[in-house]
Amino acid sequence: MPTPLVGRAAPSAPKTTTAAPSAPKNLSQKVARAKAEVQLQLDYHLIGGCVFCSTEHPDPVPMGTRLHSPERKEPMPANALFDMMSVTKTIVATAAAQLVAEGKLDPDAPFTKYLPEHLLGPNCDITVRDLATHSGGFDDTRPYAKKGMDFQRDIWKKRPTWKRRERFCYACYNLIMIGRIIERLEGKRLDAICKTRIFDPLGMADTRWWPVTGPDLARTVQIMRNPTFIGTCQDGLCQRYKKPQGNAGVFSTAADMLRFVTDILHRKTFKKEVYDLLYTPTFEHETGRRSWGWDMSPVQRPNGWSTSTITHSGFSGQTIAIDPGGSRSCATANPDAGFAGVVLTSRTAEHTTGRICRMRVLTILKEG
């Protein structure tokens, strides 16, 4: 069994570790080992529950609980709906990449070309590509969300902290702006655009923007032991401004997210230029390595995965990752090779520990 995580955010180690359930004969050793790792994380109270799957083992494996408050526990279903939080950004980035491939969006034009009401005006040098790679100079503060501010009016007043391409800084604002650009170009709401352009073509029938209501609440995951976050996006801005944003708000299942990453791995549905954008690192710096909407930094990559890997995580405990194989550009790699994995959890550990936990599972799923 894997050794306990260092630096874990747990009250204390259990005196005895529950053994992982016996694997059925038809379940591979990789999945059995991944289940043992997840069980260890459950035992150390790093997560409340988990569903994982991969291109090699596409059947979602649920473990732990859907509701993990002290007074109520309920087994995690395989079709559990998770608040995907910032994994939403990869979906929005894919929709924007489609507009680039269709010639409707110039990635190297100032983003204010499409959002002229922004105070930076027509002389702004921050491009749409800078937003997509989090390298335009915006930090992750939200002055437009402070008490007494008018989001509709003040969203356009945020100024950059650094010069463009001076450094990488992950900021939700970048994808909020890209979401607004997509809506401006398409003349529709972001949720309708992503449904038409991504969810429907890929068969992601369970994927939708929040809130989750009705019977589906019975399979929606409680986030971080907070009973108010069942079917409601955890992101405060999404809660305050009840309209789809480019930074968060999508709910999905492990099976649907596997459909998404499998398509990106095998490049089957959209134009070639879409996938090229998603895989090509266009910002490389000691502070981060980024492609269009995805992270390619070594610190975010599961052990043993190639330098071509793209990955993204969500704050409440979700990671999706795609390795096209080898160190080759995906544009020349064998489209039927490679590996992609999905690990969705309700994390209860602190953020960095939770991300390490999910990367351990992905490492096992791919490398054994």
pLDDT at residue 329 tops 60: no
Q: What is the DSSP string of 115-171?
A: -TTSTT-TT---BHHHHHTT-SS--S--GGGSTT--HHHHGGG---SS-TTS-----
Taking residues 29-58, what's their average pLDDT? Answer: 96
Please report the domains of the chain, with CATH numbers, ordered by start residue: 48-368 (3.40.710.10)
Q: Is the peptide bond before 211 cis (omega within 30 degrees of 0)?
A: yes
168 φ, ψ (degrees, to nearest 5) = -90, 135
**Helix, strand, coil proportions of the chain in percent (round to 5)?**
35, 15, 50
Inter-CA distances, 287 with 93, 170, 216, 290, 320, Å: 21, 10, 40, 10, 21
Taking residues 220-248, what's their average pLDDT? Answer: 85
Note the pLDDT of residue 10: 38
Lowest mean pLDDT among 6-10, 265-269, 296-300, 332-336: 6-10
68: β partners: 73
Rg (CA), the chain: 20
Taking residues 13-37, what's their average pLDDT? Answer: 63
Average pLDDT of the chain, as a whole number: 89
SS3 call for 183:
helix
Note the pLDDT of residue 335: 54
Scan for tokens 């790679």, then name that residue.
133
Predicted confidence (pLDDT) per residue in 163-200, tens digit:
999 999 999 999 999 999 999 999 999 999 999 999 99
Predicted confidence (pLDDT) per residue in 347-359, tens digit:
999 999 999 999 9
Note the pLDDT of residue 320: 98
Give percent of the chain with pLDDT exceeding 90: 78
Taking residues 310-333, what's their average pLDDT? Answer: 79
Number of H helices, E strands in the chain: 10, 11
Lowest mean pLDDT among 2-6, 72-76, 237-241, 305-309: 2-6
Name the pLDDT band for 326 (thresholds 50, 70, 90). Answer: low
CA 36, 38, 41, 43 torsion: positive or negative? Answer: negative
CA distance 232 to 177: 22
Q: Please, how many CA atoms are within 13 Å of residue 3, restricted to the half-sphere of its CB? A: 2
Predicted confidence (pLDDT) per residue in 80-110, tens digit:
999 999 999 999 999 999 999 999 999 999 9
pLDDT at residue 4 tops 70: no
Name the pLDDT band for 242 (thresholds 50, 70, 90). Answer: confident
258 φ, ψ (degrees, to nearest 5) = -70, -35
344 φ, ψ (degrees, to nearest 5) = -115, 125
Note the pLDDT of residue 70: 63
Predicted confidence (pLDDT) per residue in 123-153, tens digit:
999 999 999 999 999 999 998 888 878 888 8
pLDDT at residue 248 tops 70: yes
Q: Please, how many CA atoms are within 13 Å of residue 198, restricted to the half-sphere of its CB? A: 32
Distance of CA 279 to the CA centre of its chain: 15
Taking residues 240-245, what's their average pLDDT? Answer: 83
Lowest mean pLDDT among 70-84, 178-192, 279-293: 70-84
